[in-house]
Amino acid sequence: MSENKSVNRLFLVVVVIYLSVSLGFSTLTALVPALRGMSVYVSILLSQSLVFVPCFLYCKLKKIKIRQLVPYRKINFATIVLVVVCTYLMYPLVVVLNAISMLFSTGGSASVAEMIMEGQSLTLNLICVALVPACVEEFMFRGLIFQTYRKSRMLPAILLSAFLFGCMHMNLNQFVYAFALGVYLAFLVEATGSIFSSMIAHFTLNATGVLMSWLLPMLYQAAGVDQMTQIPQGGFAANMEGAELFLFLMGIAVWGVIAIGTTCGAVGVYIAICKINHRWDHVKQMFSQGTKERMVTVSLVSGMALAFAFMGFSLWLERM
């Protein structure tokens, strides 16, 4: 069996396990009210284990030497700083893509804000919401999946691994910007030759969301504003009409202009990252290399279909 077929089966297995456990747990919490008070931290760590454990077992069963497949190469301090700067320059683009997707989806991700507003530990939030997902998700998507695909053709490997990264979020709103981030993170790995760069970028984005959610309530309190009236529910844009919708679209337009400028800046920083790591020649030539081995298989399509079916079903429930 080819490596692409094997890793595609891994993706299908992860999707099936993730959906089965998630739906089963949702049913169980509906039947056992006491479980509804379970810590959000436990829920997050459980969801991440549903991704990590199958990936770890896959490596053991296939006798894959992780350090040979996944590039855990040390990076210098200058690279770390530039990766953080580049990631923040990409942030306005993420904001725009997220806002656009909110026009069509009523699904959001308010759990982080809700968790912090309930007085939970900032340190635990950074570990569970920012650090653990960054390590686990990068291990699977920029590690096992992308590193396997890239042996065939680079551009399809970048796009397909990013697409699967978006699918795994199981949310239409998050899928859009997760796909764009997946592309960016794969390019970072190629720029540095190390998965640590994508982990740092991933952590930076997650940690920014955590810190903003932690700071906003304090700012509202200092300003004497009721924070609950300021925090919109997930997907609120899908329910806007008239002047409110117009203002939201104008906001997207303004952020769009900002995103164009900052993304151009990110490209410049990215080139600097490549040159610092002596990878610029590699990046310029990487799309001309590879084989013609097929990446898309029945297992892969099945996994993607299940993910989109779940997204569609969730969207239908939200609109009822």
Q: Where are the domains positioned within the chain?
A: 69-290+314-319
Cα–Cα distance, 130 to 146 (Å, whole number): 21
Q: Which residues of 108-126 are buried (b: 16+ CB within 10 A; e: fewer)?
A: beeebbebbbeebeeeebb
**How confident is the model at residue 29, as a pLDDT?**
78
CB 189 within 8 A of CB 142: yes
Cα–Cα distance, 80 to 60 (Å, whole number): 31
**How confident is the model at residue 77, as a pLDDT?**
97
**How confident is the model at residue 256, as a pLDDT?**
95
**How confident is the model at residue 219, as a pLDDT?**
73
CB 180 within 8 A of CB 205: no
Longest dimension (CA), the chain: 63
Nearest to 232 by CA among 140, 123, 114, 314: 114
Direct distance between the N- and C-terminal alpha carbons of the chain, in angstroms, rounded to an integer = 44
Cα–Cα distance, 113 to 124 (Å, whole number): 14
pLDDT along the chain (320 residues), means of 10: 91 97 84 70 89 96 90 95 98 92 65 53 89 97 96 94 96 91 98 97 94 78 58 53 81 94 98 97 88 90 96 80
Residue 169 makes CB contacts below 8 A (sequence gap 6+) with 175, 178
Across-strand partners of 290? 153
**How confident is the model at residue 116, as a pLDDT?**
52
